[in-house]
């Protein structure tokens, strides 16, 4: 259903007026840096991936958020996006193995590494080059996965998210899991690990991220989404008509 010739679809002013009358003129996205008030009509399912220019698929958004969102899906309206976060050696990959559906797509740096450097344990690698390749593979895949229009399950293992990424993921209603592990346990597990892993662990604990904190952010976001007639549970009913 891709429409590659044109990225944006103009929304007729009468339809935008209807969107405001039905759902209000607050920005529905609430991404970091949101200016609050709608200045554009944004497609919930992006037009480029087949979203209709109709009232149920439109909400008001500020220009900043519309541009920052850049056609990423609202989780459940297209791909359902799950994110697993946590310090090194907290069992993130094992958690995905135990939880993800068999047909899920999984993006996990610890599994990209052996794919790109199968001999890494025995052969000396140029670590800067490998690091570049790993980052590119991760980012390229990530950027596609968060825009998939198909109703697939996507799992992303994100070891060190930034506060802005976390805010984006809450806004786009990702299913978020925090693997909680005390800094003492992590230090014990990493006692023979390299300095890079140790540094990552220290950085993780500066985030102060807990499941309870994420759940509170998500509960507040669900209230906002419901107020503009959107929630993951509604997506299933709406898909058939899109
Ligand atoms: Zn906004």
* Residue pLDDT, tens place only, 127-185: 888 889 999 999 999 999 999 999 999 999 998 899 999 999 999 999 999 999 999 99
Question: What pLDDT is attached to residue 122?
Answer: 58
Tell me the CA–centroid distance for residue 140 and ligand 1, in Å.
25
Domains plus CATH for the chain?
1-71 (no CATH), 80-218 (3.40.50.300)
Residue 60 Cα to ligand 1 midpoint, Å, equals 9
pLDDT, one tens digit per residue, over 25-57 is 999 999 999 999 999 999 999 999 999 999 999
Q: Ligand 1 center to residue 94 CA distance, Å?
A: 36
The per-residue pLDDT of the chain, averaged, comes to 90
Q: How far is CA 242 from CA 17, 55, 88, 100, in A?
A: 22, 12, 41, 26
Ligand 1 centre distance from Cα of residue 34 (Å): 4
65-79, 139-153, 196-210: segment of lowest average pLDDT: 196-210
How many A from CA of 29 to the centre of ligand 1? Answer: 5
pLDDT of residue 240: 43
pLDDT > 90? residue 99:
yes
Quick one: pLDDT at residue 242?
39
CA distance 65 to 164: 13
The predicted model gives 89-101 an average pLDDT of 96
pTM as predicted:
0.89
| CA–centroid distance, residue 24 to ligand 1 (Å) | 13
- Rounded to the nearest whole angstrom, what is the distance from the C-alpha of residue 31 to the centroid of ligand 1? 6
% of residues, the chain, pLDDT over 70: 90
> What confidence score (pLDDT) does residue 10 get?
87
Cα 39 to ligand 1 centre (Å): 9
């Amino acid at each position: 259903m891709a429409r590659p010739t044109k990225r944006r679809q103009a929304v007729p002013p009468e339809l935008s007026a209807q969107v405001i009358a039905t759902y209000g003129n607050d920005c529905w996205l609430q991404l970091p840096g949101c200016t609050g008030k709608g200045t554009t009509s944004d497609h919930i399912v992006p037009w480029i991936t087949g979203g209709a220019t109709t009232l149920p698929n439109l909400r008001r958004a500020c220009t900043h958020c519309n541009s920052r969102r850049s056609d990423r899906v609202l989780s459940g309206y297209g791909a359902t996006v799950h994110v697993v976060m946590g310090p090194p050696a907290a069992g993130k990959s094992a958690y995905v193995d135990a939880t993800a559906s068999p047909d899920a797509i999984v993006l996990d740096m610890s599994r990209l590494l052996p794919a790109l450097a199968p001999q890494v344990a025995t052969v000396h690698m140029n670590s800067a080059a490998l690091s570049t390749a790993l980052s590119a593979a991760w980012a390229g895949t990530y950027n596609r996965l968060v825009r998939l229009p198909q109703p697939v399950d996507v799992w992303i293992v994100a070891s060190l998210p930034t506060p802005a990424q976390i805010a984006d993921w809450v806004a786009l209603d990702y299913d978020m899991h925090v693997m909680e592990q005390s800094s003492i346990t992590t230090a014990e597990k990493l006692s023979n690990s390299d300095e890079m892993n140790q540094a990552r662990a220290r950085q993780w604990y500066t985030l102060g991220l807990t499941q309870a904190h994420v759940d509170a952010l998500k509960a507040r976001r669900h209230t906002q989404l419901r107020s503009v007639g959107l929630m993951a549970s509604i997506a299933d009913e709406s898909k058939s008509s899109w």
